[in-house]
Copies of this chain bind each other. A is one copy, B any other.
């Protein structure tokens, strides 16, 4: 079955909704943890469930290279392979081509993108059709159209050309798409230009996808530009389909995204910073390696309900990081993911009670203090 989005209510631009999937129905807006290589680094599916995760994201490019989509298919699909019985979204590989391939090692043609493997430098060629075929085999619940993630800044001319090509790629991918249980999202590009964002949104919606992503953000642009990119596109997206802002997980941006009508977010931020000893708190990020936590026998946050905060002190976590013990990153990943998911829970409650803006102000005041 395809996913189904139901808009429950609005609070200003913010949307409270329900996303029905093959693996249960979940409330939106939601934050999706990233499991790049068929696992959220260090964590088990049970731990993801324990922090109330819903959809998780996995990366088509990475799984294409290792272990290869055919092995995942033979395992019975990504859910069985990685033992996760919740919904999974796969990206298209477009962002990895953008971020992992150096410019000189990347050649974008109408047909697809020639680039080199980040593992061994082997020449690779990814096309819109191949990206979809890989995702069909991975059997995720939600697949993404193959797009070019446009760098920032880029000229109007290049952005227009690329945005038009991404539309042709979306069509090509949709034409070969072949998995009845899987949903397919279109991706709005258009760079930092209002008319191109509108053009991309309108044309992508015409193709009638199961949901829409806003792509090409978090590529070095300032916050104001990023929020503009959302605003310029989102008003042309249909009310009855989910909207997904790709690669965004900074707490401030979650609020700004929800404010503008975004339903889904993903980011490696909570797990990546965790491995570098950084913890989210309601007063901003802290680095647990800091000497001042040496004898701090309190949890990261007294008010946090995560496994880590219920059982471990900052002094212990600091010790694990200073001694390079992997358990530190594991425990902190749990806390950081839970932190973002708890924000989304509170956001949903606030929308329900028509006080999203108040909660946003309240949270950000404390967080940015």
Contact = CB atoms under 8 A, between A and B. Distances in A.
Interface of A: 37-39, 41-44, 62, 66-67, 71, 74-76, 81-83, 294-295, 297, 311-313, 315-316, 318-320, 322-323, 325-327, 329-331
Contacts of A44: 327, 331
A137 B316 CA distance: 16
A294 to B, nearest CB: 7
A315 B75 contact: yes
Sorted nearest first, the 7 A-B pairs with minimum C-beta distance are A67-B319, A83-B311, A37-B323, A39-B327, A66-B323, A42-B326, A37-B325
A316 B81 contact: yes
A84 B243 CA distance: 44
B67 A294 contact: yes
Given A71-B294, A326-B326, 20 more contacts: A37-B325, A38-B316, A39-B320, A39-B325, A41-B327, A42-B327, A44-B327, A44-B331, A62-B323, A66-B323, A71-B295, A71-B315, A71-B319, A75-B297, A75-B313, A75-B316, A81-B316, A82-B316, A83-B316, A330-B330
Nearest to A311: B83
A322 B312 CA distance: 31
Contacts of A313: 75, 81
A297 B82 CA distance: 11
A120 to B, nearest CB: 12
How many chain copies?
2
A293 to B, nearest CB: 11
Contacts of A318: 67
Contact of A42 (B75, B297, B316, B330): B330
A154 to B, nearest CB: 32
Contact of A322 (B42, B67, B75): B67
Contacts of A320: 37, 39
Nearest to A38: B319
Q: Which of A83, A315, A327, A331 has the most CB of B within 10 A?
A: A327
Contacts of A327: 39, 41-44
A312 B80 CA distance: 9
A330 B41 CA distance: 11
Contacts of A83: 311-312, 316
A66 B325 CA distance: 11
A81 B326 CA distance: 17
A313 B329 CA distance: 24
Contacts of A74: 295, 297
A309 to B, nearest CB: 12
Contacts of A294: 67, 71
Q: Which of A311, A313, A325 has the most CB of B within 10 A?
A: A325
Given A81-B316, A330-B330, A41 B71 contact: no
B322 A66 contact: yes
